[in-house]
Amino acid sequence: MEARRASQPSHPFQLSLRIRHPSIDPALISRELQIEPEHSFRAGDPRESTRNTAVTPVHVDSYWLATLDLPTLLLDTPESALVPEISRHTQAFSALDSTLTILTASVLRRHSEFFRRIQSEGGEVRLIIAISARKTRGFTLTPHLSRALSELRIPVDFELAHR
């Protein structure tokens, strides 16, 4: 299968993590992050083609994509005390900047060494933020959040949906 983009958000926004790597087994990524991907394939796996001829018969790199659900990711972590609050006050966590701050400070930072390893081996880790222009009024990318993402060397891709 071809690499996919993050799906369009049905809520004001959706966060996804995308990892590409020259050879890593996507199952290793899932075990390390304790997240099941929506889509993944390993370098060397046969390519499924919807066209008559694929560019190459096999995938040249490994690919892993998962939607990030903050309450689920915080379960069984030191931040798990926030889960009842998140569930009770979903409005408070509908703010993109607050969600990104918590995600970066807890979940992403916890796996920083793994991300650095992927990057040092020629891979890339990207945070994808799909935003519904009709459901989101805006957001603030604070200096603190920008610095934290920069320290993790994780680029952020913003995808705007107008549906």
pLDDT tens by residue, 82-113: 555 554 444 444 577 778 888 888 888 999 99
Q: Note whether 156 and 13 are within 8 A (CB).
A: no
pTM of the complete model: 0.79
Number of domains, the chain: 1
pLDDT tens by residue, 24-68: 999 999 999 999 999 999 999 998 866 655 577 999 999 999 999
Q: β-strand 156-161 against 124-132: which pairing, if any?
A: parallel
Residue 7 within a domain: no
Residue 71 within a domain: yes
State which residues form the domain around 63. Answer: 13-161
Residue 28 within a domain: yes
Residue 157 within a domain: yes
Strands (E), the chain: 13-21, 39-41, 62-68, 124-132, 156-161
Tokens 């993050």, residue located: 6
Residue 2 within a domain: no
- pLDDT reported for residue 9: 45
Cα–Cα distance between 111 and 64 in angstroms, integer?
Answer: 15
pLDDT tens by residue, 109-131: 999 999 999 999 999 999 999 88
Residue 139 within a domain: yes
Two structure tokens written together for 22? 């020259």
Residue 1 within a domain: no
Cα–Cα distance between 129 and 139 in angstroms, integer?
Answer: 11
Name the 3-class secondary structure at 103: helix
Residue 6 within a domain: no
